[in-house]
Structures are given as C-alpha cells and as structure tokens.
Structure 1
C-alpha cells in the first residue's frame, strides 16, 4: 500500500511546450554565417540585418544567456508608417554571437582600407571654354590695307557717332581705325613674308621635280632595255608563223597580210625610238 501511495505522489515528467507568444521557432542566427557588412558588434548598438525584411534590428540581451539573446520585435515598414506590420520571421529570433569583437573590428578596418585603395584620386576637371574671338580678330588676317580702309570709310559714312574728322568714334569705328593703322604698319613685313613663303614653295617644287628626274635617270636604262626586249619578243612572235621554213604556216589573204605588215611597221618604229 505504501509503495502504491509513493508511486502516485511522484510527479510525472510533462512534455515541455511554448507558453509564450514571444518565441520564434526558426533556427537561431549565427553571426559567423553572415557577411561582415550585415552585422555590427559595436558595444554602443549591437545589431544585424534581419534576413526576413532586410532591415537593421538591434539584438536584445547580447551579453546574456544564449537562449535569451534575440532580435528585437520590429516592423517591416519605415518608422511613422500607418498600420505597420510586424516582422514575424525575424522578431524574437534567437541569435548566437560566435564572433569576437576584435576580429570583427579588424576585418572592418581591412575592408575599409581595401575600398579606399580601389577609389581613384584622379580629379576630372571641367574643360575651360575658350573665349570666342571678336569679329575684327577674325577679319584681320583676311583683309589688306585697302580692304580695311574701305570698311572704315563705309562705316564712317553710315555711322552717326563717327565724325569725318576722326575725333569722335564709336566702338566699331575705333576698332576699324585701329585695324587700318595696324595694317599700314605691318603691310610691308606681311608682303615680304608672303614673298619668302612663295619662293620657298617654288624651291620645294623645283627640288621635287629634280629629285624625280634623278630617280627616273637612275632607272631609265633598265626600263628602256625592258621595253626593247618586249618589242623584240612581239616581233619574233609575229614573224615566226610567217616564216617559209614552217611547214604549217598559215596562208593570209591580202587584208590580213596588210594588217600584219602595218603592225610590224609600228613595232619597228617603236624599236627605233627606244634605241635612240
């Protein structure tokens, strides 16, 4: 009887079950399995990127017991959104911090140094826009003294500001007067420079012709011999069928014979010209 009473008073082992709704049945997240840029082990705010909603979430009780280190409950939308939705896949999910803080900090420093090394320090500066030349600067190389003087006189006749005496001038009249004076000062030097340039161009052309003549003279003999040999070969090829020694020599009529004799005469004239 005592044994039966002792058996009834012994508590039976009951099946453990989750009694709290704040529990996530997904497998715990291991920090070592995440990328370095997806978690932050700074003691000020230890956090990581939630795998479900891809948002940064703080870790609750990072230095507590392994089973109580969890992700803080969070929403999937931005802060201030109306009717936010709680992330069911990442809220209250257990986290296992199996990475040392010093190793993580060293890895981050090395990554930043490598990224800085890939960035170029070359500064691409904007090209400077050249100042457009004035109309007088464009026309100055194209005009001589007479053309500049004609432009100045035409402007003076049609301008109310420019006086015939030359004391009062507008902006364009002053520029034209300056252009006329400049052309008068530099006309002689400009003509002398043009003359020298023309003489140099003529000398270069004469030198090119002389060089061409010398090159032709060095090869003229070989060319003449080749032409003579070619004419001789044509004469032999033309006279060979007409030789009486050939048994099967073709019989030509008067017209064909006249054509052959004309061709032979032309070849003979050509040989005579090349032999001079």
Structure 2
C-alpha cells in the first residue's frame, strides 16, 4: 500500500487563543476603572468591558501584551452574533495585585465589623390601671356604692351635692352606675348558666343510669356465675374424690365453711 493512500488524522491540539489581532481602541489601563469594575484575583483576572459593559476575562495577564478575550455583545446562543469592538483590546495592568488583594481583605473585614444602623425602638410602658379598675370585676352594686360613699366622706374635692368630683370619685360614680345597669342582666345570665349546668348534670346522670340498666342483667349473671364457680371450688376439698387425698384440719375446715357461707349469702342476694 502506497503512502499516498494512507488516511491522515489530525492530531488533537490544545485550544488556546493564537490570534495576533489587536483592537484599534487605545490600551485600557486598569487604574482608570472604578474599583467595582475589575477583579484581580489570580484565579480569574477580569474586568468590565467599557464597550459592552460585560465582564470579560483578560488573556495572558502575566505576558507583555495582555488583551481582552474576544466576546460578543449578545447573549450566548444568539444567531448571527456581533463581536464587540472591545475584543482583543490591550490591557495595562498598572496595579499591584498583592496590594489590591490586601486592601480588599481589609475592606471586607472593616465592613463586617461595622455596627448595624437599625433603630431599636424602646418598648412602651404599660399604663398601670387604677385601684377601682382592678376591683371592678370583684364588686357588686352595693359594694361599689359603699366605696363611693366612703370616698365622698374623706375627699375634699368631691362635694356632697355630687356636682364636683375628683378623678377617683368620677370613676367610682361611673362604677356604681355601671353596676346598677348591668347587674340584673348579669344575675339573669348566671342563673341561666347554673340551670343549664344542673340540667346537663341531670342528663348525664340519667344517661349513666340507662346505660347501667342495659347491662345490669348481664353483670348480675356474671357475678352469680363467678360466685357459683368459687363455691364449687371450695366444696371440692370438703368432699375429695380419692380416698387417699389429704384431709383438712379442723381449723382449715372452719375457714372453708365460713367462706362458703359468705359466698352462698352473696349468691342469694344477687338472685333477688
């Protein structure tokens, strides 16, 4: 076979940018950009392209002529994309990467250590209720009237005519009027509640009695059968089947007879 008929296969080459093209735009200095528009971290040195305002990596940042990698202005996957004029633009890294990294670390630490400017509101102090307000649920109309009369006698502001009152006197007067107005309805509601509670208890008692009546016969039969079985078991030692069976002593026989008498009385009571 001749050498011309051999199939030639291209060797796989390492993919890298080999273009010598240089953008017509002037070289871009990193120091001319704002601090948030470039990233000098060694893992991925990149910056914001001034032409399309997108983040673009820098090709060979350690070489003599670092350039922006070729990129498009449209999102990836767009048909007929247009290449950005900032592609292959020369970049001048005129900043010390180690110094930039140190300043970035110090800035992050300083930002994390700042105090929050959130305003913490003080809790509002609750108003302490007056003594009459605390005792209002515990007093009836007669007790409120006695408190009002005692206050009127000892207070210089509250006049006997009742036209002028102090703060406590006004509260007591309102409490007396309120109790007189609402006490009959409260008593009626309490009476109705007590009657409903009594009817509920009577209904539960009647229901319990009906339930017990429905099962009383079966319970009585079970009790009679249980007592009968115990009675048969106690009569067995008194009349042994075998002649050589052990005999009960006088005291044991007396105990068994007493228990038999009690069981017989119980069975008779259950059968009534």
TM-score using structure 2 length = 0.58
Distance 1:159 1:91 in 2: 100
Supply the RMSD in Å over aligned alpha carbons: 3.8
Kept after mapping to 2: 8 A contact 1:48/1:56: yes
* Partner residue of 1:194 out of 190, 213, 227: 190
* Number of the residue aligned with 1:95: 68
* Number of the residue aligned with 1:234: 230
Distance 2:217 2:147 in 1: 62
Kept after mapping to 1: 8 A contact 2:158/2:164: yes
* Number of the residue aligned with 1:9: none
1:8-63 CA distances to partner (integer Å, 9 max, x unpaired)? Answer: xxxxxxxxxxxxxxxxxxx98xxxxxxxxxxxxxxx9995533339897445899x
Distance 1:92 1:154 in 2: 102
Distance 1:89 1:161 in 2: 95
1:166 partnered with 2:162: yes
Kept after mapping to 2: 8 A contact 1:47/1:58: yes
* Number of the residue aligned with 2:135: 139
* Partner residue of 1:207 out of 193, 203, 227: 203
Structure 1 stretches of at least 4 aligned residues deviating more than 6 Å after TM superposition: 53-56, 88-92
1:212-239 CA distances to partner (integer Å, 9 max, x unpaired)? Answer: 1001111111111111111111111111
SS at match of 1:234: helix
Gaps of 5+ in 1: 1-26, 29-43, 63-68, 72-87, 107-128
Size of the alignment, in residue pairs? 189
TM-score using structure 1 length = 0.57
Gaps of 5+ in 2: 1-15, 18-32, 79-123
SS at match of 1:101: coil
